[in-house]
Amino acid sequence: MSTFTCSHHNVPEDWCQLLKTDCVPGRPGCVLRGKSVFLFPVEERIREKEQARRERERESPRAGRGDSGQAEAGAAPR
């Protein structure tokens, strides 16, 4: 077992600044692809991340991808 750091990882958002999408280590285009072995298949982890993002966006539509949505949160209509 190991941990990693990646210079492209926006940790608070869990966002890949290189690929402009959710950070899923080993996904196509990821710097770790082909260099690491993962316990769970990348396709499964991508699917789970996308589902979680959709649920977050459904609960809070202003919380967009890659930004915290904090700047817009105060302006959200009630």
Applying CB under 6 A, the residues found at the interface with ligand SF4 are: 6, 8-9, 16, 18-19, 23-25, 27, 30-32
Residues contacting residue 6 through CB under 8 Å, at least 6 positions apart:
23, 25, 31, 32
Closer Cβ to ligand SF4, 21 or 62, answer by number = 21
Strand partners, 22: 15
For residue 71, what is the enclosing H or E element?
helix 70-73
Closer Cβ to ligand SF4, 19 or 63, answer by number = 19
CB of residue 4 to ligand SF4, shortest distance in Å: 7
